[in-house]
Amino acid sequence: MELVNKKLPLVAISSCLTGQAVRYDGLHKFTPLLIHSLAQKVRLLPVCPETAIGLSVPRNKIQLTYQQDQVKVLDTADLTCDLTDLLRDYALDFIKEHKLSGLVLQEKSPSCGVNNCKLFNIHGQKIGYHSGVFAATIIKTQPQLPICCAIDLQHDLTKIEFIKKIQSYAQYNT
Ligand code: SF4
């Protein structure tokens, strides 16, 4: 579902930030002020990679796990359940399908987080931070695309700067 004015740059946004109750715990992360100010300048396209690959609401918690020299997304209740390829393939299809000029994503998510999701080893010990697989795939595939976490857009100045980046990207790339 796209929201408002088709002439504005298209920006994907984590669905939970728009108020959709799609999180693993059945809740959302609605950020009305951010949504309202972005919607004046860009066209918002909500996306939830986890429900898009078929996970239910609610669902088991998933986590980034470093295994066999790779960052994987595993189900915390069943570490043999590996969702990495599904999330990566969905990210590739998603950016192919939509002419995006930016992304605004939920922080700390093993799918959507940008550099701020906890990374664990196979023994469940925290060993650092990494981007979620959906975000990491898009960053790797389209490194110039403006992308950030909603939490980084709390201040007016950073929001204005980010919107300028989106507009400039849209002007030269779409
Ligand atoms: S952070 Fe991303 S994957 Fe998780 S509920 Fe929100 S939109 Fe879905």
pLDDT in tens, 73-119: 999 999 999 999 999 999 999 999 999 999 999 999 999 999 999 99
Please state the atom number of ligand 1 nearest to the C-alpha of residue 113. Answer: 1
In degrees and rounded to multiples of 5, residue 153 shows phi and psi of -110, 25
Would you kindly state where each structural domain of the chain is located, as residue ranges? 10-59+84-108+133-173
The runs of H, that is alpha helices, within the chain are 32-41, 49-52, 84-97, 133-141, 156-173
Compute the half-sphere exposure of residue 55: CA atoms within 13 Å on the CB side of its CA.
26
Please state the atom number of ligand 1 nearest to the C-alpha of residue 50. Answer: 3
Residue type, 37: S
> Is ligand 1 within 6 A of the CB of residue 16?
yes
Compute the half-sphere exposure of residue 128: CA atoms within 13 Å on the CB side of its CA.
6
> Is ligand 1 within 6 A of the CB of residue 73?
no
What is the per-residue pLDDT across 3-13, written as a single tens digit (0 to 9) for each?
A: 456 789 999 99
> Which percentage of the chain shows pLDDT scores above 90?
94
The answer to whether the beta carbons of residues 138 and 145 sit under 8 Å apart is yes
Residue 2 clears pLDDT 70, i.e. is over it: no
CA distance 52 to 66: 24
For residue 174, name the pLDDT band (cuts at 50, 70, 90). low
Choose among 69, 65, 58, 101: nearest CA to 83. Answer: 65
